[in-house]
């Protein structure tokens, strides 16, 4: 793990965590391309913490408001949305045979298919988005909206399936407007990243951290934080005006290329 590779992985993590293209999928792909194996899980965990700082900075005023007044509907819906996500995560990590499927997914075995699934979700967002006059704001969310968004986030635990794309897609399917969909998705990323980090710490420590270059870790985290901040700003500006077909096209083409390598070329897989 060199400084430059850590910088590259941090930039990719920061951009892809909040753009709907799957940060975990891109990290697995790059780790395959550059042969990163030792301490990869711990390094990925630290990059996620870097992106957590980014979303906390962008939403600092709203987060502070929610912390000062926790007994409100938005906080309730964030908690409710976490329930199906946690259930899906437990299913994938602890329950046979789903745990074996998830382990294979973490190794990149289904990466191409998962990128294509992200593409399909994003295309569906544009095709089935409700007319603007029938869309609802964050203040008009319902309990069922939170459950749907949380269920979609559960699908996003698979590497290659975008968490932000899935949750924004779930919010749009539920009938929220684009700003509300993005805001709720990014707010939901805060407890999701924290919870995911807590669950992954034991596995990361078992994988080994003794040989990790800490300067590279710090550089990667800083890069993830800065680019994550820029990605959130970019996504908030873009989603108000534009369709998601560009991201759908990108993940679709990437998925096909990964499948080509997995089944024909065998260059990285």
If you write DSSP's letter for every residue of 26-91 in order, what string do you get? Answer: HHHHHHHHHT--TTHHHHHHHHHHHHHHHHHHHTHHHHHHHHHS-SSHHHHHHHHHHHHHHHHHHH
Per-residue pLDDT, 177: 92
Each residue's pLDDT tens digit, 95-134: 999 999 999 999 999 999 999 999 999 999 888 878 878 8
Each residue's pLDDT tens digit, 156-190: 999 999 999 999 999 999 999 999 999 999 999 99
152, 12, 25, 148: CA torsion to nearest 10:
0
Q: How much is the pTM?
A: 0.91
β-sheet bridge partners, residue 136 = 176
Q: How far apart are CA 16 and CA 34, in angstroms?
A: 18
The stretches in the chain having pLDDT less than 70 are: 37-39, 204-205, 207-210
Q: How far apart are CA 141 and CA 123, in angstroms?
A: 23
β-sheet bridge partners, residue 176 = 136
Residues sharing a CB contact under 8 Å with residue 234, sequence separation 6 or more, in sequence order:
19
Per-residue pLDDT, 38: 57
Q: How far apart are CA 175 and CA 78, in angstroms?
A: 17
Per-residue pLDDT, 73: 94
Per-residue pLDDT, 89: 86
Backbone angles phi, psi at 159, to 5 degrees: -60, 130
β-sheet bridge partners, residue 20 = none
Per-residue pLDDT, 207: 66
Contacts 24+ apart (CB under 8 A), 216-219: 216/1, 216/2, 216/3, 216/5, 216/6, 216/43, 217/6, 217/43, 217/46, 219/3, 219/6, 219/7, 219/10
Which among 124, 229, 106 has a CA at the least distance from the CA of 166? 124
Per-residue pLDDT, 213: 82
């Amino acid at each position: 793990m060199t400084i430059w590779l850590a910088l590259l992985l941090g930039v990719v993590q920061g951009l892809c965590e909040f753009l709907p293209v799957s940060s975990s999928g891109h990290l697995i792909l790059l780790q395959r391309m550059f042969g990163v194996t030792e301490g990869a899980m711990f390094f990925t965990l630290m990059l996620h913490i870097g992106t957590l700082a980014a979303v906390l900075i962008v939403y600092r005023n709203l987060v502070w408001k929610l912390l000062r007044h926790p007994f409100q509907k938005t906080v309730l819906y964030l908690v409710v949305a976490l329930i199906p996500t946690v259930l899906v995560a437990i299913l994938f990590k602890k329950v046979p045979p789903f745990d074996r499927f998830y382990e294979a997914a973490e190794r990149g075995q289904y990466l191409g298919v998962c990128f294509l699934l992200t593409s399909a979700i994003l295309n569906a967002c544009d095709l089935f988005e409700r007319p603007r006059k029938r869309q609802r704001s964050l203040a008009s969310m319902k309990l069922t909206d939170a459950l749907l968004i949380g269920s979609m986030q559960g699908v996003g635990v698979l590497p290659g399936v975008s968490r932000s794309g899935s949750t924004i897609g779930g919010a749009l399917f539920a009938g929220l407007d684009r700003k509300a969909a993005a805001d709720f998705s990014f707010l939901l990323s805060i407890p999701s990243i924290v919870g995911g980090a807590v669950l992954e710490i034991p596995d990361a420590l078992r994988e080994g951290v003794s040989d990790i270059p800490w300067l590279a870790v710090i550089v990667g985290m800083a890069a993830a934080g800065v680019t994550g901040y820029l990605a959130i700003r970019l996504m908030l500006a873009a989603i108000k005006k534009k369709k998601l077909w560009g991201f759908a096209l990108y993940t679709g083409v990437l998925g096909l290329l990964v499948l080509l390598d997995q089944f024909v070329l065998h260059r990285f897989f």
